[in-house]
Structure 1
């Protein structure tokens, strides 16, 4: 199995108080899969993502990628956060080049690769703009182009669309799905939005409230591109709601 999470727990101690974020999590992910981690706030989704990224270490259990235990970050695993992480003093082109600089790629080749991925996300006309001159959705496209430019094996996405308005968020879901189809990267996408998970995922990993455990895994047997209003889509969505013992009208309660 490409990514193997075996008996993983993560606990923290603060002022003598023990907090368990994750407890005995087991999960296997195939190469090229699009996985959504879904659950309410505080269920350990981001903690699990950080363990896969190598930013943190489990208290118990192991995280393996391609048979190797994860002990530190790697350029093969790139994380996208909600705040984009763009450098405000760099324009779009220079932001996308950032990861390539750490790989010691010469300037001409860096420029060529960066321009290729800027074109891929539809921002060629904005390559000399700075982040402050771009909308939230455009900034997230830049962050996505920067991540893809270093050609990682795995993209770890921590609620990357959470700060966007509803229409921009749906547009970015379309964009991420298109790029995944084109590049076939392994994507692990953290969200608490049920419809977003159904639209994007091959499988949805549903997590329990703290301490976070894998409650269930739902396969999404829908062809791409998915129709958010289609009856098959709504059946999967309602099945996910049922796992949380919610009905669609209870969405407000779910997000609290």
Structure 2
């Protein structure tokens, strides 16, 4: 059963488990368990996706219960009217707060985007971060005798593909568990010590305007048990 965070006659929000695809994709034809199918069976009606949440990312996922609501919500995402808050574990000590204004070239998938035009210029991409807690573990990586990690709050102000993962790599604090944009050696050290093998990125909340009632809403998703256990080691 998927954890339902909010539901009314127009919209539904769930706490997406890490590793779940939102919908079936030809990128993984063998995957049978996906959010949309499972949620449809759980509530007994069709659901419509309105935004992206990568397969390895956990947390708040918003869906509509009609095509009209889906279009209205999708427009808020496209116009950057939805406030998204994430939490992540990153390499190294990252303290304080700052804004990352670093344009990103479109990131293409070799299969899904095989025929897409590849000559688009870099697009504006802005994210902000707030360092929250840190931890140091007795696992050597390279010439360093220990490994350091930080819990950070992240807010993407634009919606580029893998924006947070790419921005954190840009400032040399990649998100732990990121196999494409992360640090392989730090990922291994983290997994070895904590026995957690996943992307440490969680969609904590979404704030938006309800398309039907016009009221402002914020939906929050709690950390899962792995996250909760891990955070007891941070100070």
- State if a TM-score over 0.5 links the two structures: no
Higher strand share: 2
TM-score bucket (shorter structure):
under 0.3
Higher relative contact order (CA 8 A, sep 6+): 1
Q: Which has the higher helix share?
A: 1
